[in-house]
């Protein structure tokens, strides 16, 4: 995976990689399906996460969604702006609405943009 090439999970998270740091957020599809995001709960910096496990919650006016860790590693940064102003996830889910940064130990197989587009078009 080249630096900052966006990849996706079947659980509707996106990931970009810079060295051994993964920036993770939810996709525009997920943000749209959730509706207006009103609350976000994320792990604290320093927390260890395991790929495929729930690491946070995203609450909207419609439902509560879970955030899954796509990688094993340690959270090194949390987007406090998203916690303080959850609507940022709706406005810019692929940019300023990122959620956590994780120093990871290995990358799993992830979906590319075409594979993710095919997944959500079913």
Give the max Cα distance, the chain.
38
In angstroms, the first-to-last Cα distance of the chain is: 26
- pLDDT tens, position by position, for the chain (122 residues)? 444 589 999 999 999 999 999 999 999 999 999 999 999 999 999 999 999 999 999 999 989 999 999 999 999 999 999 999 999 999 999 999 999 999 999 899 999 999 999 999 98
User: Three-state DSSP class for 50?
Assistant: coil
Q: Which domains does the chain have, with CATH numbers?
A: 7-120 (2.40.50.100)
State the pLDDT at residue 108: 92
pLDDT at 4: 54
The span from the CA of 92 to the CA of 112, in Å, is: 20
């Amino acid at each position: 995976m080249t630096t900052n090439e966006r990849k996706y999970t079947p659980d509707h998270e996106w990931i970009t990689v810079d060295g051994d740091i993964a920036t993770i957020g939810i996709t525009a599809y997920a943000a749209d399906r959730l509706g207006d995001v009103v609350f976000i709960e994320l792990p604290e910096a320093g927390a260890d996460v395991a790929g495929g496990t729930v690491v946070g919650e995203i609450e909207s006016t419609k439902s509560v969604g879970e955030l899954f860790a796509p990688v094993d590693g340690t959270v090194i940064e949390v987007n406090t702006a998203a916690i303080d102003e959850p609507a940022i996830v709706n406005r810019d889910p692929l940019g300023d609405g990122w959620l956590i940064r994780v120093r990871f130990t290995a990358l799993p197989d992830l979906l590319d943009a075409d594979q993710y587009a095919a997944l959500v078009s079913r």
